[in-house]
Chain A
Amino acid sequence: KKKISILMALILPLLLVLSSLCSSCLAAILAFLSEDAQDLDAYTLAKSFYDLKEYDRAAYFLRGCKSQKAYFLYMYSRYLSGEKKKDDETVDSLGPLEKGQVKNESLRELRVELSKKHKAKDLDGFGLYLYGVVLRKLDLFKEALDVFVEATHCLPLHWGAWLELCNLITNKDMLKSLTLPDTWVKEFFLAHMYTELQMIEEALQKYQSLIEAGFSKSTYIISQIAVAYHNIRDIDKALSMFNELRKQDPYRIENMDTFSNLLYVRSMKPELSYLAHNLCDIDKYRVETCCVIGNYYSLRSQHEKAALYFQRALKLNPRCLGAWTLMGHEYMEMKNTSAAIQAYRHAIEVNKRDYRAWYGLGQTYEILKMPFYCLYYYRRAHQLRPNDSRMLVALGECYEKLNQLAEAKKCYWRAYSVGDVERMALVKLAKLHEQLNESDQATQCYIIYIQDVFSCGEILEHLELSTAFRYLGQYYFKSKRYNEAFICAQRCCDYNDAREEGKALLRQISQVRGEADPASTDLSLPFLYGPLSATNTPVRRMSPLNLSSVTP
């Protein structure tokens, strides 16, 4: 009886594997070589140990195996065992300064063995992938890059190799210089890469063509598109994509932190609350869940609790970049500037290219009333995101505080040129011109601002509209263009804070008109809503300024 049961135990997995193989396809059966058959027992046993995270044990039982699959599992187990020990060692190190020295001891041996095999061209796609990972861990990036490229050629459908490649590529030229296999996976890779390199337009195009090519149901693509829209701050489109994603894949946790960021920005409390509860039901011990809950509390202005949840996220994964930055924001809200600085610094340590952390540091110092000091941080943020108007506006504000008005003007103008998100740059620019008595330029800015606000058709409350109309009215009145002044004064009356002044101006205008020429009351000049003509606008004197002179 015992013998039979043992036999059964041995045969069963074999049968299972065989049946699964049979069903997959014919080619796989052909590839199922005699070596694999020989190693199958050991492999299956080791795989079970591997699944139980007993890496050394798995490696031990695989040591004599010849087949590629078993060899990969053997090496990979050894690698993971080294990594696990490294993490355990960190806790048990002799002294704090020794901590950074804890290394994965098996890496060197693995590298020697793998390089030997690599030279003999004895590695399959997975082997190459592992070799690349080992090289990357040893900080040999150049070699790792070559090996990963080779791995993608060898086994194009292994996404892991592509992802590793993605981590090693830092700029566009590097991407262009690589010779990659010409398969459909490459398109995915390129799209992913473009998103990473902030080339959002190209990425969106790629994804679109992938959808058209037959991947229309892929939730991965939808999520990537949503993230891409998030990156270019196209909030509406991103939100709709995420809603679509939630419909198709309701138990998804990945990327939901990004979704919650969007909901947060739009202050959509009920939706965010729903999302948080939903995710909490699915799995509450996930980084993304914690971030979502943190965002939720932050939106409810319960910043202590929010910080607590971000801390929990960081406990789950200390290298989670977003959580550091978000925690910094929470501390900022709580006016705990020193803790905020700490959090942001940690974020920068994890990723030097995190512009939000630099920006956050800048804001912290701005709150501490150190405008010159925060210039450095804003500049760093601006370097990382040259086309983001928020940094430019922040820089401009700092320069304004430092009374460097020329620089401030350049910043505001540049912020407007790259597409101002908050639409504040022009108003600030106009006010600067006003301050400097450059009334023509100020008028110009106000006109563009008003056109901007009305053309986008948002019914949002813009506080500065009244200011703009008031100034324009005064300006036209002074330059004796009463028709325009009259329109502006009328518009002024639409706003509470400028009503009195508007009325006063109207009275003045009618008074002057009564003296001069009572007949000419032609109000058919909708100059603000039609296209600007040369007759009713001051000559544009500003040119797009060279911003490079701003940053010394």
Chain B
Amino acid sequence: MASVHDSLYFNPMMTNGVVHANVFGIKDWVTPYKIAVLVLLDEMTVSKCISLLEKRRLNKLILPLLQGPDMTLVQLLKTVEDCCPQLAYAVHLRLHLMADGELKDMESFFDVLPSPFNETESEAHKSSVVGLFMRHMVLAYNKLSFSQVYKLYKALQQYYKSYERKAPPASDATTDADMEQLAPDSLGRKVEKQDLDPSPSDDDVASTEPLSQKQAEYFLAQQAYFLKNDENKALKPAGLQNELNNMLKFNPDFAEAHYLSYLNSMRVQDVFVSTHSLLHYFDRLILSGSDSKSNGDEGYGRSLRYAALNLAALHCRFGHYQQAELALQEAIRIAQESSDHVCLQHCLSWLYLLQQMKGSDSTVLTEHSVKMAVHFSLPYLASLGIQSLVQQSAIRGKNAKKLINALKDTDILHWKHSMSELIDISIAQKTAIWRMYGKSTMALQQAQMLMNMNSLESVNLGVQQNNTEAFTVTLCHLAELHAEQGQFQAASEILKHLKERFPSNSQNAKLWMICEQKIQFDRALNDGKYHIAESLVSVISALCKTEGLYRKALVLKAQNQTSEAYQVLQGLLVYCEKTKCTEMTIRVMLAIAELYWRSSSHGIVLPLLLQTLALSREHHLQKLASETVLHLAFSQLMLGIPEQALNILHMAIEPILAHGAVMDKGRALLLVAKCQVVTSASVPADQRHQALVVAIQNLEEARSYFDKVDCRDRVRDIFYLQARLYHSLGKTLERNKCAMLFRQLNEELPSHGVPLLTRL
């Protein structure tokens, strides 16, 4: 039994059982705000006393006023006042007269309005933007029914009244008084006030004012753009969802709102709502495209294909790879059946992405995708493909020259088509690649380039850069590069900036979070504060599992828990080799080598290190290669062939001094000094003296590097070595000084029992 309270009358807006949202086919409706704008336009054409500057400012204002969402009168008058005070006053006056007068005042206003059209000279010429708007409004007004006109007038009065109420500062008292009259019983007044209060609070006016079709579209487009390019400017997820729900309540056929709801719930990783919204969107989209029943390029066959593709993308983003694959297969099948090459191309791009996410080799697919994209002249997809290809090849250690060349070629393409997003990505990618290759100077240069570049399509005037992922990546690299050079102050400045630009609940926040943790971890480890490092490990693991495991092993190693560390590293090594994560593999192998040193098995280390060296050379990872050489030299030193060690050290020292981190520089010089000391034992006395002086100099330089990164542990070691060397040179004064400094540090620092010499 249908409840009597649901609907007493049938809805005349329905035809054929379908409720039409827009019976009259008008997209624009007259609202009080629109009347105010009309008054403004009318005043502008009529009044003669506007200076040229003011006129220019007003003209600039018109377009946003026409296209933006409805403002309150306070906001409107304020914006107008900023441009031209006397005009604002005139508008205010006319609205006041209209609202305080009678219905006929409004009617006569609309009667007078069309007059500017008759003058060919005026700004409100028929075909101008303003003229079109005016004509729209007049048309919409004329189509209003009797009761609608009265309602509009009532709304106008309300609109003006709300302005008047807000204008004097002591307005709250009156509203409260109103409330008291409404709900005189004192007990439940607090509750009642919230429930019964019909007037919207000042902040969310936009959410309760009905939007016109056009404004709603504008709102959706703007929010979607913000979500993509600059999340901070978009509404908060909860707020946006509220707004969308509101919009959908008013107009359930507004399909785009469902899509935005999908994007919004992706932001907060809500798989249920996002799936629901996405499918709902496509269900609705299929409706709107139902006029053309063909399965061709247009019509709903097309949206079906993209529906499946989008579903695949959704599963991809949530990491449901199996589902994503099934959905993708479906999309591909439908696209093939209707031979939609563009859709197929998109499918192919997702396919290689999926393969990549699953960790398998997708180079062939990507190459194929790029070729096809070029063939069908889809520059965006082609560039994305090339970038993805470059990334994969870089990780797999392909020829570096070719990669950089390919990036350069795509850059030309980007500039030609002004694809600003891709330009940003390309530069960020170059930064990352240079950094991976261990050329920090080049990386730094690329990062600076992006930082100093203005985006081609900026979100709003004044700000030239969008807060996209590319910027996050580059800024993170920048922070890490600075931290490597011991400029922690600068690094923390950059991180502060990152936090401001990408608040911690935004999509890209994860990137800087892990970067910050890594920097802190390195500092803690260098400083010997292992307990701090240990506490950071859990945070890092939460953000990135492999990195977390690696760091855990490092802490264990530093705490002398050798066997535990070895277990972790072995597990990690197997995992990295399976996922072909070369960079991490090399780092893990080096860590394992260091573990071997602990047990003084330097002989065993050599084959491992040679393997590491081969691997890093093959992948052009210069930084890791030099580090491996350092390890190798150290092992040789420990095996008693310091000459050989010195020989190979010469290979590594140059790149390290040029590109390496401060820590590496220090370690390299320390090792050189050690080797020099050991080799000096076998040379004649006078040369020996010379060699020791050089060694002391090297040690001094190493010490300055270690000082930079607060590595007091190693500084202590260096003081010790220096003291011994001075002693053997017979320089008592210097020796005593070094010994004293050593002594001071030794008292401060806890001794971890790591023998001085068995460490690189």
Chain A residues in the interface with B (C-beta under 8 A): 80, 83-84, 87-88, 90-101, 108, 111-112, 115-116, 119, 133, 137-138, 140, 163-164, 167, 254, 287, 310-311, 314-320, 323-324, 327, 337-339, 341-343, 345-346, 349, 361, 368-373, 376-377, 402, 404, 552
Q: Which residues of chain B are near A339, meaning CB under 8 Å? A: 290
Evaluate whether A92 and B334 lie within 8 angstroms (CB atoms) in the complex, with A314-B14, A372-B308 already known. no
Q: Name the CB-closest residue of A to B150.
A: A92
Chain A interface main SS type: helix
27 contacts between A and B (CB under 8 A): A84-B9, A87-B9, A90-B13, A91-B11, A94-B29, A95-B212, A96-B21, A96-B29, A97-B210, A97-B212, A100-B251, A101-B250, A115-B192, A137-B5, A164-B3, A310-B17, A317-B2, A318-B17, A319-B6, A320-B2, A338-B289, A343-B17, A345-B284, A361-B283, A369-B337, A371-B330, A372-B311
Q: Name the CB-closest residue of A to B13.
A: A91
On whether the beta carbons of B192 and A112 are closer than 8 Å, the reply is yes
- Residue of A87, A327, A349 near B17 (CB, 8 A) is A327
On whether the beta carbons of B8 and A119 are closer than 8 Å, the reply is no
Cβ contacts B324-366/A at 8 Å (1 or 0 each): 0011011001100100000000000000000000000000000
On whether the beta carbons of B198 and A108 are closer than 8 Å, the reply is yes
On whether the beta carbons of B327 and A373 are closer than 8 Å, the reply is yes
Give the CA-CA distance A373 to B327 in the complex, in Å: 7
Give the CA-CA distance A310 to B147 in the complex, in Å: 33
Q: Which residues of chain B are near A315, meaning CB under 8 Å? A: 10-11, 14, 17
Number of A-B residue pairs with CB-CB distance less than 8 Å in the complex they form: 164
Shortest Cβ distance from residue A363 to the other chain B in the assembled complex, whole angstroms: 14
- Which 4 interchain pairs have the tightest Cβ spacing? A95-B29, A100-B250, A311-B17, A338-B290
Shortest Cβ distance from residue A138 to the other chain B in the assembled complex, whole angstroms: 7
Evaluate whether A341 and B333 lie within 8 angstroms (CB atoms) in the complex, with A95-B29, A95-B212, A119-B187 already known. no
On whether the beta carbons of B216 and A115 are closer than 8 Å, the reply is no
Shortest Cβ distance from residue A311 to the other chain B in the assembled complex, whole angstroms: 4
Which of A287, A318, A327 gathers the greatest number of chain B CB atoms within 10 Å? A318
Chain B residues in the interface with A (C-beta under 8 A): 1-3, 5-14, 16-19, 21-22, 29-31, 144-145, 147-148, 151-152, 155, 182-183, 185, 187-188, 192, 195-196, 198, 208, 210-213, 216, 247, 249-252, 275, 279-280, 283-284, 286-287, 289-290, 293, 300, 304, 307-308, 311, 320, 323, 326-327, 329-330, 333-334, 337
Shortest Cβ distance from residue B295 to the other chain A in the assembled complex, whole angstroms: 10
On whether the beta carbons of B31 and A94 are closer than 8 Å, the reply is yes
Give the CA-CA distance A469 to B289 in the complex, in Å: 50
On whether the beta carbons of A373 and B182 are closer than 8 Å, the reply is no
- Residue of A92, A254, A373 near B145 (CB, 8 A) is A92
Q: Which residues of chain B are near A323, meaning CB under 8 Å? A: 17
- Residue of B17, B275, B327 near A372 (CB, 8 A) is B327
Known A115-B192, A119-B185; further 15 A-B contacts with Cβ < 8 A: A88-B9, A94-B155, A95-B213, A96-B250, A96-B251, A98-B210, A108-B196, A112-B196, A115-B185, A315-B14, A318-B7, A342-B18, A342-B286, A342-B290, A372-B323
Q: Which residues of chain A are near B286, meaning CB under 8 Å? A: 337-338, 341-342
Give the CA-CA distance A94 to B208 in the complex, in Å: 14
Q: Which residues of chain A are near B304, meaning CB under 8 Å? A: 368, 370
Q: Which residues of chain A are near B211, meaning CB under 8 Å? A: 97
On whether the beta carbons of A370 and B330 are closer than 8 Å, the reply is yes
- Residue of A112, A370, A377 near B334 (CB, 8 A) is A370
Give the CA-CA distance A343 to B19 in the complex, in Å: 11
Shortest Cβ distance from residue A50 to the other chain B in the assembled complex, whole angstroms: 13
On whether the beta carbons of B320 and A376 are closer than 8 Å, the reply is no
On whether the beta carbons of B17 and A319 are closer than 8 Å, the reply is no
Q: Which residues of chain B are near A377, meaning CB under 8 Å? A: 279
On whether the beta carbons of B12 and A98 are closer than 8 Å, the reply is no
Q: Which residues of chain A are near B280, meaning CB under 8 Å? A: 345
Give the CA-CA distance A310 to B17 in the complex, in Å: 8
On whether the beta carbons of A314 and B251 are closer than 8 Å, the reply is no
- Residue of A319, A376, A402 near B2 (CB, 8 A) is A319
Q: Which residues of chain A are near B152, meaning CB under 8 Å? A: 94
Q: Which residues of chain B are near A338, meaning CB under 8 Å? A: 286-287, 289-290, 293, 300
Shortest Cβ distance from residue B13 to the other chain A in the assembled complex, whole angstroms: 6
Q: Which residues of chain A are near B147, meaning CB under 8 Å? A: 92
Shortest Cβ distance from residue A249 to the other chain B in the assembled complex, whole angstroms: 15
Which of B11, B185, B249 gathers the greatest number of chain A CB atoms within 10 Å? B11
Give the CA-CA distance A97 to B250 in the complex, in Å: 5
Shortest Cβ distance from residue A107 to the other chain B in the assembled complex, whole angstroms: 10
- Residue of A99, A138, A319, A369 near B21 (CB, 8 A) is A99
Shortest Cβ distance from residue B147 to the other chain A in the assembled complex, whole angstroms: 5
Evaluate whether A84 and B8 lie within 8 angstroms (CB atoms) in the complex, with A369-B334, A370-B334, A371-B330 already known. yes
Give the CA-CA distance A98 to B212 in the complex, in Å: 8
Evaluate whether A97 and B247 lie within 8 angstroms (CB atoms) in the complex, with A338-B290, A338-B300, A402-B326 already known. yes
Q: Which residues of chain B are near A133, meaning CB under 8 Å? A: 5
Give the CA-CA distance A101 to B198 in the complex, in Å: 11
Which of A167, A320, A345, A361 gathers the greatest number of chain B CB atoms within 10 Å? A345
On whether the beta carbons of A254 and B1 are closer than 8 Å, the reply is yes
Give the CA-CA distance A284 to B21 in the complex, in Å: 29
- Residue of B144, B249, B300, B307 near A373 (CB, 8 A) is B307
Give the CA-CA distance A323 to B18 in the complex, in Å: 12
On whether the beta carbons of B17 and A97 are closer than 8 Å, the reply is no
Q: Name the CB-closest residue of B to A86.
A: B8
Shortest Cβ distance from residue B110 to the other chain A in the assembled complex, whole angstroms: 15
Q: Which residues of chain B are near A343, meaning CB under 8 Å? A: 17
Give the CA-CA distance A83 to B3 in the complex, in Å: 13
Shortest Cβ distance from residue B22 to the other chain A in the assembled complex, whole angstroms: 5
Q: Which residues of chain B are near A163, meaning CB under 8 Å? A: 1, 3
Evaluate whether A376 and B195 lie within 8 angstroms (CB atoms) in the complex, with A119-B185, A314-B17, A341-B286 already known. no
Q: Name the CB-closest residue of B to A316.
A: B10
Evaluate whether A319 and B7 lie within 8 angstroms (CB atoms) in the complex, with A94-B31, A95-B31 already known. yes
Q: Which residues of chain A are near B250, meaning CB under 8 Å? A: 96-101
Q: Which residues of chain B are near A91, meaning CB under 8 Å? A: 11-13
On whether the beta carbons of A115 and B188 are closer than 8 Å, the reply is yes
Shortest Cβ distance from residue A173 to the other chain B in the assembled complex, whole angstroms: 22
Q: Which residues of chain A are near B275, meaning CB under 8 Å? A: 376
- Residue of B14, B22, B289 near A318 (CB, 8 A) is B14
Give the CA-CA distance A533 to B2 in the complex, in Å: 55
Q: Which residues of chain A are near B185, meaning CB under 8 Å? A: 115-116, 119
Shortest Cβ distance from residue B287 to the other chain A in the assembled complex, whole angstroms: 5
Q: Which residues of chain A are near B290, meaning CB under 8 Å? A: 338-339, 342
On whether the beta carbons of A341 and B283 are closer than 8 Å, the reply is yes
Give the CA-CA distance A91 to B8 in the complex, in Å: 14
Give the CA-CA distance A349 to B287 in the complex, in Å: 15
Q: Name the CB-closest residue of A to B301.
A: A368
Q: Which residues of chain A are near B8, meaning CB under 8 Å? A: 80, 83-84, 87
Q: Which residues of chain B are near A96, meaning CB under 8 Å? A: 21-22, 29, 213, 250-251
Q: Which residues of chain A are near B188, meaning CB under 8 Å? A: 115
Give the CA-CA distance A319 to B333 in the complex, in Å: 38
On whether the beta carbons of A94 and B192 are closer than 8 Å, the reply is no
Q: Which residues of chain B are near A87, meaning CB under 8 Å? A: 7-9, 11
Give the CA-CA distance A368 to B183 in the complex, in Å: 57
- Residue of B14, B249, B283 near A345 (CB, 8 A) is B283
Q: Which residues of chain A are near B14, meaning CB under 8 Å? A: 314-315, 318
Give the CA-CA distance A111 to B152 in the complex, in Å: 28
Q: Name the CB-closest residue of B to A350.
A: B6
Q: Which residues of chain A are near B5, meaning CB under 8 Å? A: 83, 133, 137
Q: Name the CB-closest residue of A to B147.
A: A92
Give the CA-CA distance A115 to B198 in the complex, in Å: 18
Q: Name the CB-closest residue of B to A133.
A: B5
Shortest Cβ distance from residue A333 to the other chain B in the assembled complex, whole angstroms: 16
Q: Which residues of chain B are near A372, meaning CB under 8 Å? A: 308, 311, 323, 326-327, 329-330
- Residue of A94, A97, A119, A317 near B10 (CB, 8 A) is A317
Q: Which residues of chain A are near B293, meaning CB under 8 Å? A: 338
Give the CA-CA distance A263 to B12 in the complex, in Å: 32
